[in-house]
Amino acid sequence: MNQFAKIKPNTQFIGQNIIYFKCIDSTNNAALDWIKNNSCENGNIFITDFQTNGRGQQSNIWESEPNKNLMFSIVLNQQTTLLNPFLLNKITAYSLFQSLQKSLNNSQFIKIKWPNDLYFKQKKIAGILIENNFLGNKINYSVIGIGINVNQKFTNNDNINATSLFQICEKEQDRIRLFQEFIEVFEFNLLHFQSLEIENQFTKSLLGYNQTEEFNINNEIIKGTIVNCDEFGRLSVLINDQIKAFNHGEIKQII
């Protein structure tokens, strides 16, 4: 049954139209197909209870039990907003951070692992996959894919570095409420990112922010401190009294 149909989010455009699939390969693909064949309606959300081929980076599969988790994609028409993709990534990750933190009674253990994974202690609890479309050099639309492990049970045999809200709280969580809370906070942050200083908040919520820890840089273990994430999404790390900026793939945080 589509439980998402009853949601009436208190938003201007995000989630005013929710397209539900009982089962689909990936909500990002569904959103991208929809846009190519129809139109790009701002704030449309594509959601499913079971994703057969959820995509992650480098074709990592997002493992998910049916009806347990949240998997959805938000469509943003960017023809008027023209948000910098790196800023959009920060707004999304920070909104997810806030929603998860709220679900966990303001737990200090929720962190954003640069550039856009959500971690509880040393385990992944949520992930983001953003696909932007450019017409020439101008951003056209963005599809923001989000996966949150809500009520999935992991056993030790699963041998994956992941956790869920259920696993942490040891009781079933209301995923419909979490979904609604997320889309409301996401729209609010999207509309007020400047006054809310989201970029700054994002940086402060990074796993390892302002702490000396180890990094793998070119297969060398080096001590450093995360001090910023710049406008191009690069991680600025203080190493031997010098700040260096790294692209994704150039540095690996050892956790």
Partner 1 sequence: MDIKEIENLIRFVSSQKNVGEVEIEKKDFKLVIRKPAQNIVAAPQYIQATAVPAPQMSAPAAQQTIEAPKANAENNAPAAVASNLITIKSPMIGTFYRSSSPDKPSFVNVGDEVKPGKPVCIIEAMKLFNEIESEVSGKIVKLLVDNATPVEYDQPLFLVEPN
Q: Could you list the residues that contact partner 1 (CB under 8 A)?
A: 57, 59, 85-86, 89, 115-116, 128-140, 232-234, 247-248
Find the shortest distance in angstroms from Cβ 226 to partner 1: 15
Find the shortest distance in angstroms from Cβ 131 to partner 1: 5
Cβ-based nearer residue to partner 1, 175 or 234: 234
Find the shortest distance in angstroms from Cβ 169 to partner 1: 28
Q: How far is CA 93 from CA 97, 99, 196, in A?
A: 6, 10, 14
Find the shortest distance in angstroms from Cβ 55 to partner 1: 9
206, 226 Cβ separation under 8 angstroms = yes
Cβ-based nearer residue to partner 1, 18 or 126: 126
Cβ-based nearer residue to partner 1, 167 or 201: 201
Find the shortest distance in angstroms from Cβ 233 to partner 1: 4
What string of DSSP letters covers the chain? --GGGG---S-SSTTSSEEEESSBS-HHHHHHHHHHHS---TT-EEEES-BSS-B-GGG-B----TTTSEEEEEEEE-TTT---HHHHHHHHHHHHHHHHHHHTTS-TTEEEETTTEEEETTEEEEEEEEEEEEETTEEEEEEEEEEE--S----GGG--SB--HHHHHSS---HHHHHHHHHHHHHHHHHSTTTTTHHHHHHHTBTTBTSEEEEEETTEEEEEEEEEE-TTSPEEEEETTEEEEE-BTTBEE--
Looking up tokens 């998402």 gives 4
Cβ-based nearer residue to partner 1, 122 or 247: 247
Cβ-based nearer residue to partner 1, 57 or 211: 57
Q: Which amino acid is at 119?
A: Y
Cβ-based nearer residue to partner 1, 141 or 179: 141
Cβ-based nearer residue to partner 1, 42 or 92: 92
Token pair belonging to 142: 């963005």
Find the shortest distance in angstroms from Cβ 134 to partner 1: 5
Residue 91: which of 103, 83, 81 has the closest Cα?
Answer: 83
Find the shortest distance in angstroms from Cβ 36 to partner 1: 9
